[in-house]
């Protein structure tokens, strides 16, 4: 897993309006510039907030990406809860869990 690369991409995306526009128009052009696993690539391409949370993306970074993707706060929180049920524990990063409940 390349959590650092995923978070770096999201951090840059959150800060750069032109990059956001490019991502929304053609995400592959942006994703190809980062060394991501296939799972990370797919989660970003599909704007899968829940899976990105499970992969370990920091919530401070993820919440801005979720907003960019049109999710309201309750939807963002629910996406993370739903992902715990589907994918199991958070795998890495600050929110890693071992109890199956997650940090949400």
| CATH code, domain carrying 67 | 1.10.700.10
The answer to the question of residue 11 being in a domain is: yes
Residue 92 lies in a domain: no
Please report whether residue 82 resides in a domain. Answer: yes
Q: How many domains does the chain have?
A: 1
List the pLDDT tens digit at each of the 104 positions of the chain. 589 999 999 999 999 999 999 999 999 999 999 999 999 999 999 999 999 999 999 999 999 999 999 999 999 999 999 999 999 889 888 777 666 555 55
Specify the length of the chain in residues: 104
Does residue 44 lie in a domain region?
Answer: yes
| pTM beyond 0.75, yes or no | yes
Query: Which CA distances in Å does 37 have to 5, 11, 34, 43, 49?
Result: 10, 18, 10, 10, 16
Q: Is residue 58 in some structural domain? A: yes
Residue 39 included in any domain: yes
Which secondary-structure segment (H or E) carries 17?
Answer: helix 17-25
Domain that holds residue 57: 3-87
């Amino acid at each position: 897993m390349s959590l650092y690369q995923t978070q770096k991409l999201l951090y840059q995306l959150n800060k750069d309006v032109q990059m956001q526009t490019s991502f929304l128009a053609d995400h592959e052009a942006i994703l190809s510039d980062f060394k991501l696993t296939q799972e990370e690539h797919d989660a970003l391409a599909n704007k899968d907030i829940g899976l990105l949370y499970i992969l370990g993306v920091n919530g401070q970074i993820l919440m801005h990406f979720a907003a960019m993707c049109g999710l309201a706060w309750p939807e963002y929180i629910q996406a993370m809860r739903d992902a715990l049920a589907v994918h199991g524990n958070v795998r890495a990063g600050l929110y890693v869990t071992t109890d199956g409940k997650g940090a949400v």
